[in-house]
A and B are shown apart, each in its own frame.
Chain A
Amino acid sequence: QSVLTQPPSVSAAPGQKVSISCSGSSSNIGRNSASWYQQVPGTAPKLLIDERYNRPSGIPDRFSGSKSGTSVTLVITGLQTGDEADYYCGTWDDSLSIYVFGSGTKVAVL
């Protein structure tokens, strides 16, 4: 069971918006926020948004992140078929002294 909780899947039509939540605790997201990763099956994870809410070069502004308390949310606007992938949140847990990932959310474009 993951320390960070994500919904298993979300879906929407092309052009629409999806939100993916990631719920943690005071020892991880509460202290450190979280990064978001995109992983197309068979490929390595790719950073979408870091813990300071910055997007690496090449990541479109359709991807945005926010934090509230011990949860973070990834929002994808203008959904495209190329956005179909698994999305993970991740952050350091100060109590466990390990980096923890969410269980992952599969995004489907209808």
Chain B
Amino acid sequence: EVRLVESGGGLVQPGGSLRLSCATSGFDFGQSEMSWVRQAPGEGLEWVSVSSGRNAGRTHYIDSAKGRFTISRDNSKKTLYLQMNSLRDEDTAVYYCARVPDHWGQGILVTVAS
């Protein structure tokens, strides 16, 4: 059974930091491109970042995340991470870990507010 379980979300003040984790099982994590996708309240899906499995040095980010977010992975633990710094109100969203397009986690809420 494929499982992706996000953790690390919560309430943080503007300018603060959070580290999301995504523990996976049931598929070949090491060979998989893994992404973070977010969805602000009442809005559509927005892809945030990707980490390549075969070449973990290959990462991409949306412009609003560049310089603030860092995606990383531990293939030995089959876990994906998203370090989020300098958080802004507009980063408030449910964050999904995904092996786009076929495997998705249940999502974790990140709320940035004072």
Contacts and interface: CB of A to CB of B under 8 A. Distances in A.
A9 B12 CA distance: 35
B104 A104 contact: no
A106 to B, nearest CB: 11
Nearest to B105: A44
Contacts, number: 52
B101 A50 contact: yes
Contacts of A17: none
Given A44-B96, A44-B107, A101 B44 contact: yes
A60 to B, nearest CB: 17
A44 B60 contact: no
Contacts of A84: none
A100 interface: yes
A97 B60 contact: yes
A98 B105 CA distance: 20
Given A90-B45, A100-B47, A101-B47, A44 B35 contact: no
B44 A46 contact: no
Given A44-B96, A98-B60, A37 B101 contact: yes
A46 B104 contact: yes
User: Which of B35, B105, B107 has the most chain A CB atoms closer than 10 A to its own CB?
Assistant: B107
B96 A2 contact: no
Contacts of A78: none
A110 B37 CA distance: 31
